[in-house]
Structures are given as structure tokens and as C-alpha cells.
Structure 1
């Protein structure tokens, strides 16, 4: 919100919250009813198409958001290197979040996307105009004179008036009350283009309505002139705020005057970093005429265009989980990616055809893709995604294709000069690839270090146990991490009780005689602290006493079945402020929490450790723990009211 919010800052339907879409419902129902109950010339196709056009605008904007975030993660043509944080994500999606307020407030205020607000506002105006203006309905599909008139009116009065309106908005009075909210985003995203108070949107619509109303009054309006003009505005707005340069040089070489008729993303990016230059809407010639052209415009354009893909020091290799997880990626729905809640949303059921289509695309696109980038001190970090879902990792016939994708990713990282590749989620499965050891065996000369992060995962679990605990109950599938946790606890003199006989026998075989005296078979009263893995069942959880603390050691969190018990997060740590460009949540973890496996890869590169940590090799847990604290990563706290034993 602006520093001194002026009149008409909020949208009229703000009190409705997520129910704001009902204001459009009567118009949509009426236009649909009239269309299907009319015949021949009486059918009003133009009014009927308003709602599908609004949906197209939302899809168009989302395409740009996804493309922008993907290209910024890769680095190709990136303009501004500075990262985006949760504060910007919240500010650009909810007016109730003040810059000085906590970013966590966004979680409780719901999802009120400003991008939807301006589309909703435009839709209402279109419906009202179609119902009230003479010649505003029953428009033909195409009229050449109307299209030409729209173009000329935009190049003339619209661009001219916008230039001076924009300069006026940078005057202290209007800037502090309205336009400063838009300029709070130094690093822009496509959605930044519509982050304005309601009053500004009214002013902009009046400008853009000049060609629309003129063609209606002159009887030259058509469906294509309306839809084409608004799509052009959306296209140029999104492109100008995408933070990567994509306009090739040859376009200006073949047609030099185009330089004055079409801006580039780098041109408008300078307006957000310098503030007092490059005021033009989409056509820069008024900045040339009035001397407000930034002198670095051409240089920034060329350097941004020549910028190649970023070479990362650390790659975190993860995969898709559920079919809906693709929307939770940073390149998906930004509002979902910025929250840890992974439960299905009602509106995701409405777009199940898109979900089905995404499953088909990922099944055909057999290579990893970049979804995220971070910077940690001098280290460059990226997250790559394997286009496979969790369920596929448990299918025997998918084992070879998945291993092939992981191996290709490792070799690609090797070729690019990456220092460390850490295997996330099920990419380090023991049954799949021997905890990553398969790839080191196949390629013994690898320079990139393959890390499964098991040492730090063990350290996080061990240090998550409340102080003073003398006995824990162990329940879960016995993995590399599970054995190491049991061994570490016994070494510290903490008794480890098992719920099932087979777990007791297998753990006893792995422990030496000095430690196995601390291994017990559970009987009677169960401890208040449980260390649990993937396969803990409902029956197991029902055996726990009230107030039990469940601490998972697995990659995936257990299902929360007991409201009278406490569930710790999967092994994770709080990231330090030096980790930049963090504005999405890692799977189900809350904001600015990072899985121990991911952190381990960063530490491996930061410390310069030369060995692989995969297969049956595990980093010393005390060494990993101390390194994490030294680099600013912090453990998660235990609620004060959790019983210690």
C-alpha cells in the first residue's frame, strides 16, 4: 500500500474478499441466457464472449508469469539480479498487507489477487457498456476501419496523455498517495504491471477507452478491435515487467523506426530502478521528444540480451509430488507457491483439464527443468525438477527411466561446472539408486559432488529431540538415515524403544555392543517422543499417549491423525537472511524453511568438502551440524508445552 493512501485506493468489492466474483455473476448469466435463447441476427456474440475473453486474459497473464519466473531462474537475458522476497509477493497480491506488516499475515487474509481485480473491473465496464451504449452490442467479428482507427488513436492521444499522466503520478503528492505502491517493486514481475490503487486503474481505463468508445460512437467497433487492443495492452504490460530481455536486435536492424514505436523490457526496467526516466507507455518516442530517455537504455538492452544461462554452484534436484504440485512450483501459481499449505484448493478442481494436460506434457518432456534460483553469499543456487510424480517412484517399470533422468541431470551439472548436486525427495531412494551411489559407481571421475544430505538430516532429527529426553520410541521404515539416527541416539545414552519386533532385530544387528544396551523392545507405557518414518500407520499413531511429539525423519511428513498430539516438521532448518531470492515454500515447509537435504548441498559447497555423500557414505553429523550453525542456518524450536518424556 502507498505510504499515504489517497481516496479510492481500495477496490469497491474489498469487503467481499474471495466472494468478489459474485459481482460479475449476474452479467455472465444474463449474457449467456440471452445468447442461447436468441436466433439468427438477434444473437449477441460480442456480449456473450466477454466472459471467455476475461478467462483468456487471466490465462495470458499466467503464461507470462510462468515464462518470466522460468527465464529468471535460468538467467537468460535477465536484467536485474536483485532477488524477490515474500514481502513483495504479499504486497502484489493483497492490499491489506502493509509494507511494514509481517509477511505471515498474508496466510490468514486469504487470496485476493490484484491481477483478478483489474480484470473483474474491466469486465464489469464491458458488460455495462454493451448494455447501455448505442452500438456497444451485437458487434461484428471484424471491421478494418475500426482496427486502423484504434491503432491511430493509441499512437496519438493515448500514448501522449499517458506520458503526461505518468509524469504527474511521479509528483510527490500523487506518488506518495498512489504510484509509490507500484514502484515498491524494484525487481518487476508481469503481475507488477497491474499493481496500482483503484483510482489509478480508473484513470488508465479512461485513457484506454478512448479508441474503444470512439470506434463505438463511429460505428466501426468490432470484436477483434476490442479483443486485439486489450490483448495488446496486456502483452506489452507483461513484457515490460518480465525482467528478462527477449526482443532480438535484428528486429530494430530491419526496421530502425521501430525503436521509437515499441519499448523493450530493459527500457521499462530502468524506469523502476531510476524512477525519473523512461515514462512512456509502450512507445518511447515521447521520452526522446521531452528529454526523459535514460542514457543507459541502449547499453542495458545490449548487455541483457547477451546474457546467457546462469551457471550454478549448487543444484538441488527434486521432483513433482502430486498432480496439483505443478501449481505450487515457483513457476506455477505464485500465490500458492508462497504458502506451505499443500491441500487441494476448490478452484484447482475446476481446472482439472489443465492438470491432466500438464501430466501429459511432463510425461512427454523427458528432461529436467529449472524452477528456482537463490544466492547464498557468493554461491549461486538453482533447483531443478524431474518431471515425475511421487507415485511413479514406486512403480518398478519407472525405475530405469527415472534413474536415466537423474543421471542426465548429474552429467549436465558436471558439464556446466556445478560444484555440488544434492538429491531431494525420492531421488535418493535406496531401492532406486542405492542412495545415489549408483551414479558415482558409473562415473567415478565426477567432479560434481553428489550429496544425499543424510548426515545433516540425522543431525537435525537428533537435535530436535527436547532436552532432558531419556527415551524415545522408534517407528518407521529402516533407511540409511534411520539406522544413523538410532546409532547417534544410543551413543548419546538415549534409550531407543521399537514398536515392532522386526525393527528391534534389524537395529540390534547394526549397533555395536556398546550401544545396543540402549535398544529396547517397547512394552507398556510408550515414551512421549516418537521418531517416525514414512510407513507409520493409523494403528501405530493410536497407540501413542496424549501429548506425544512425533518427529519425522523421512522426506515426507506423516499424516496428522491425532489432534491431541504434536507433529514436528520433516528435517529442516530456518534459512539465514544471506539466502536471497526466497519467495516460495519448499514443498510443505513454512516460509524460509529449507529441508535438511537441501541445506546439506549448500554446506557441502560452502565448506569445500571434496567427498561425495551418497551410497552408504554419511557425513559426520556433528561436523554437518556445526557447519550449518556457522553459516547461519538455525534449528526449529520445540513448543514449550511439549512434554519432555
Structure 2
């Protein structure tokens, strides 16, 4: 949960898709333990049935056996796994995860899991041999063992440094996430299982362990992002598409998954809580050209943006996020689809007009969105049918195409708004803009650009073979088998992106919405203007070329 832990992360970089895929089967060790327990119950039924529910002596015994035998044995075996042969063939897989996570604890070879189960079984067998074991002892020890391993790998320093200052001996009794992270990055130190005393005894204790612990706990490692993308929730599925719920699911494009249906009542309750929330949540981040890019999310669902009584609250929320970014020192903040809705805030212009001294640059990113849509159009197109034609994007697309000699059928009932846009075009190109009021006008045009939701009965007017380009959120339904449908405008991030492990809504890996990419380009170019309100048609080609120059690629 980055919004809670961002100041306590040991390593600041994110977890990328490669690490997520590598740790996909992190739960294998749980299956192995279950199989071993089943084997024990089957072949030694009298033993398992004879165990009492609780025995205090057993807990003391298992603790002493763990500290005396399991810890020292693990230390020796762990160092052995760092020898050339065992490390290359077995243990290196575990160490490929540079940014350790709780999932990393279970990411290891079968041999390592078997050895670990044997080490974990010594105290249980020992307590049983001394006739003081109990069922609660067995379950408590195994659960505590697995919990401590996950704790050490979690990359979030939850143990206060003041605890060790109050009782210095405690630092040798149990390890911390900071302590274990040093082993992943400096492999010749900090070999212990849970107790650093064995590293101290055998001179493998990393001298930076306690100073780094103090630094992380003080929050000094938290970095101010250069760029923030301010997103929002679309519907229940996208609300569940966050890495702190299901890391595996969030690493894939957001689609309807029946397995998530039982969680919907919980999401509904959370939605009611979020409605009253005044907090913007940090949900993901990545690094590009040594600059930190973060995604913050407004805790509002898509349908809430269309409730008249919610308008002021949502605007206040967006405004607070912009002011927070400005106070932190963020350079660019880019607004997601509904956060820059024309009816809501005029494409973000009200914030710039209200706060004249903003240092952070507010960007709606629609210039690049328009560029992406325009560059998707087939070469030589002569006519397009455009819905949502008087919106920010619709206006820019219509004016751009008119200048290129393309006839644009602009669907709008408002003659006044149409004439305002038509007059913006050079006189010699105004004839290329044609107002239409019905969908029937597009029945002979195979290039539809959809900027407003269209119903099935409206789609039927498109001729067979039509391609629907679109910039409407959410995307229109794919109902025509004889037609093709484009996705929302998007771009591939550059290849040198690091730490990206979450897919953005329905986008594939490494792909972001064009408005997100537009903010990235704004930062990389170092532009000092706000990109709000109406789209500058003259800048469409400029922004497109800048995006390609910086390694962003069309989908």
C-alpha cells in the first residue's frame, strides 16, 4: 500500500513485470508444506491424534530448539548455498529479485524449499520427541516461521529504530526488512534466518545494517516525484486492479474476472468509505531517465463524475491534489480522462486561473491524444464521421483534418458551437467542416471517430468494414462483427522504463493512455507552460514528434 508505506520503503525502485512473473509461483512452498503434513498425518495417525490442544512447555521447547539448532543450521546451509555450484544452479533464482517483496520469500528452487522444511521441522520433531508438543504449537510455529520470512522480505521497515536503542540486545534477536535487504544486494553478508547474532558471531554482519535501519525509519529515503499522473477509478473491476490487492492481476490488463465477483460487496462498502475520503492515494510508480513518475488516484468512481451534486467535491479533490503536488515540488501533473472533463473544470483551466503562481505544470495531455488518433487514420482518407465533435478533442481533430483537406462530418445539434469551430479554420478550409445532425449521415463513411458514447442502434448506421477510432471513456461496446474497433489512444513508454509492474486499466504492459504519455513528454521536454483548456492545433505535430524523439511508440 504505497500511500501508507512510501516513506518506509527500504529500496525505492518499483517491482517490474519480470520480477512479478518470476515470482508467480511464490506459493509453491505452502503446497509443499501441505503435502508433507498430509504425508505425516497419513503415515503417523496415532501421533497426530494423540497431540493435546495446548502445552506451555512445548512452546518453550520449540523456541529454544529453534534458537539453538534451526537458526545455526540455516546459517550454515545458507552460506553453503552461496558457494559457486549451489548458487549458480539453485540459489541465484531467489537473488534475481533485487527489490524483495513478501512474495520473494517463497520464490526459490524445490531443493531450497525441502531443506527449509527440514530445518523448520527440527523444533517440532524435537518437541514431539520430548513429549511436550501440541497442535497449537505446531500451527503457531509454522505460521510464525512463514510470517517472519515474509516480514524480512517485505521491503517496508515497520520495526521502529527506537526499539533497538531502548534495548540494544534486541537487534541480535530478530532481524528487520532493512537487515535482510542488504543480503539481497550485498550477498556476502547477513546470512541469518531471523537472528543476526549468528552473523555477529561468524563475522558476516553488514556494518551498514543499523545505520541504514535508522535512515529508512526516519523517512529520509522518500523521493519527491518529478511527474504525477492523477487517475481515477472507472468501475468495480478497475477498483480491484491495484497491486496491493492482487499483484498478479494488476500486472495484466484490466478485464472482467469471475473470480473477483465475491469481492464486489466489499468494494461497494469501500466505495462508500471513499466517498467521504479526503485523501488522494499513491498506487504505482516507475522511474524513467532517473526521474520518478507516480500515479495518484482520486477515490471516486466513474459514475460519480456525472452526478451534479458531486461536481464541487470532485473539483476540490483535484485541486487539493494539484496543490499538494505543487507543495512537494512536483514538476508536472497530468490529469486522467474524467479529471479534466470540460463540464467539470474546463480541461483543468479553472485551477490555473485560480492559482496563478503554481510552479507545478498542469497538463491535460489531450494534445498528444489528438496526435495519436490522427496518426492512426489511414493514409489518403478523404472523409471522416466525427461524434463528440465540439469537445476539446473533437474540435482539435476536426480543425487539423480540415487543414489537411479531409472532409469532416461533425455530428452536433448545436449550430452555434459548430459555427464557432468552423470560423477557427482558415477560410479556404472551412468548407471541409460539415455539420450533420443524424447518424444516418455517416452511412457511407468507413472512418468513424467516436468521442461520445454511441448505442447499438446508432452503430448500425456505419457501413460494413468501418473502423471505429475512439476517445470516449469508457470505450464503446464491440457489437458489429463486420467492423473493427480501435482502443483508447495510448502509447508505449520508452524501453528504459524501470520498476513498472502495473498495467494501466485495459492497457497492455508498458502502455499508458495518451494523456499520461502527454504529461511524460511535457516533463522530458522541460516545457514551462500549462497545457489546459482548448487544444492548440498548431502544437499537435510538435508534441507527436517530441514523443517519438523520446522513445515513446504508437501502439
User: Given the two structures, how large is their TM-score scaled by the length of structure 1?
Assistant: 0.79
Distance 1:525 1:363 in 2: 43
Contact 2:387 2:452 in 1 (8 A): no
SS at match of 2:516: helix
Matched, 1:632 2:555: no
Distance change >3 Å, CA 156–CA 351, structure 1 → 2:
farther
2:431 is matched with which residue? 517
Distance change >3 Å, CA 279–CA 317, structure 1 → 2:
same
1:494-573 pair list within 5 angstroms: 494-498=406-410, 500=411, 502=413, 506-512=417-423, 513-520=427-434, 521=436, 523=441, 526-573=444-491
Distance 1:428 1:270 in 2: 44
SS at match of 1:564: coil
Matched, 1:443 2:355: yes
Matched, 1:314 2:233: no
CA shift, 1:506, in A, is 4.4
Matched, 1:327 2:240: yes
Distance 2:205 2:339 in 1: 51
Matched, 1:261 2:167: no
1:265-284 pair list within 5 angstroms: 265-284=177-196
Distance 2:107 2:468 in 1: 43
Distance 1:77 1:501 in 2: 53
Distance change >3 Å, CA 138–CA 411, structure 1 → 2:
farther
1:121 is matched with which residue? 32
2:16 is matched with which residue? 85
Contact 2:237 2:255 in 1 (8 A): no
For residue 176 of structure 1, the aligned residue among 88, 109, 126 is: 88
1:455 is matched with which residue? 367
CA shift, 1:562, in A, is 2.6
CA shift, 1:305, in A, is 2.8
CA shift, 1:317, in A, is 0.6
Distance 1:269 1:205 in 2: 22
1:56 is matched with which residue? none
1:227 is matched with which residue? 139
Matched, 1:163 2:81: no
Distance change >3 Å, CA 117–CA 534, structure 1 → 2:
farther
1:593 is matched with which residue? 511
SS at match of 1:383: strand
Distance 2:128 2:352 in 1: 69
Distance change >3 Å, CA 543–CA 121, structure 1 → 2:
farther
SS at match of 1:115: coil
**What 5-or-longer segments of structure 2 have no aligned partner?**
none
CA shift, 1:187, in A, is 1.6
Between 543-552 and 404-413, the greater mean CA deviation after superposition: 543-552
Between 252-261 and 608-617, the greater mean CA deviation after superposition: 608-617
CA shift, 1:429, in A, is 1.0
Task: Write out per-residue CA displacement over residues 111-149 of structure 1, whole angstroms, 9 at most, x where no aligned residue.
Answer: xxx233322332343344445443424855543212212
Distance 1:416 1:430 in 2: 27
CA shift, 1:487, in A, is 1.0
Distance change >3 Å, CA 139–CA 345, structure 1 → 2:
farther
Task: Write out per-residue CA displacement over residues 227-278 of structure 1, whole angstroms, 9 at most, x where no aligned residue.
Answer: 3323322332222112233322211112111111111212211211122221
Distance 1:349 1:474 in 2: 37
Task: Provide the aligned C-alpha RMSD in A.
Answer: 2.4
Contact 1:548 1:566 in 2 (8 A): yes
1:611 is matched with which residue? 529
2:197 is matched with which residue? 285
1:401 is matched with which residue? 313
CA shift, 1:456, in A, is 1.3
Distance change >3 Å, CA 524–CA 202, structure 1 → 2:
closer
Distance 1:196 1:561 in 2: 46
Contact 2:450 2:471 in 1 (8 A): yes
1:373 is matched with which residue? 285
Distance 1:628 1:391 in 2: 32
1:39-438 pair list within 5 angstroms: 67=1, 69-70=2-3, 74=6, 76-93=7-24, 114-131=25-42, 132-137=44-49, 141-308=53-220, 309-340=222-253, 342-438=254-350
SS at match of 1:583: coil
Query: How many residues end up aligned between the 2 structures?
Result: 545
1:475 is matched with which residue? 387
CA shift, 1:587, in A, is 0.8
Between 462-471 and 500-509, the greater mean CA deviation after superposition: 500-509
CA shift, 1:347, in A, is 1.6
SS at match of 2:46: coil
CA shift, 1:617, in A, is 5.6
1:8 is matched with which residue? none
Distance 2:80 2:517 in 1: 48
CA shift, 1:606, in A, is 2.3
1:621 is matched with which residue? 540
SS at match of 1:299: helix
Distance 2:111 2:267 in 1: 37
Distance 1:214 1:236 in 2: 21
Distance 2:363 2:312 in 1: 20
Contact 2:227 2:333 in 1 (8 A): yes
Contact 2:390 2:412 in 1 (8 A): no
Contact 2:448 2:468 in 1 (8 A): yes
Contact 1:267 1:297 in 2 (8 A): yes
Contact 1:86 1:582 in 2 (8 A): yes
CA shift, 1:558, in A, is 2.1
